[in-house]
Amino acid sequence: MDLHHVTSNLKITLEQLKEHYLTHEKPEKKKDMDFFLYVKDKTSPTFELLKEWEAEALVFAKDRSVQVHPNQITSTKENMELLLMHSYYVDVNRKRYMNLNKSVHYVFDLLLQDIHK
Distance CA 53, CA 74 (A): 10
Say how many C-beta atoms besides its own lie within 10 A of residue 46's C-beta. Answer: 20
Residue 66 confidence class, pLDDT cut points 50, 70, 90: confident
Domain coverage including residue 67: 3-115
CATH number, domain of 80, equals: 1.20.120.440
Give residue 7's pLDDT: 98
Give residue 65's pLDDT: 79
Query: At a CB cut-off of 8 Å and minimum separation 6, what does 51 contact?
Result: 77
Residue 114 confidence class, pLDDT cut points 50, 70, 90: very high
Radius of gyration of the chain (CA): 15
Question: What one-character DSSP code corresponds to residue 69?
Answer: -
Reported as a single tens digit per residue, the pLDDT across 77-87 is 999 999 999 99
Reported as a single tens digit per residue, the pLDDT across 19-57 is 999 999 999 888 899 999 999 999 999 999 999 999 999
Count of domains for the chain: 1
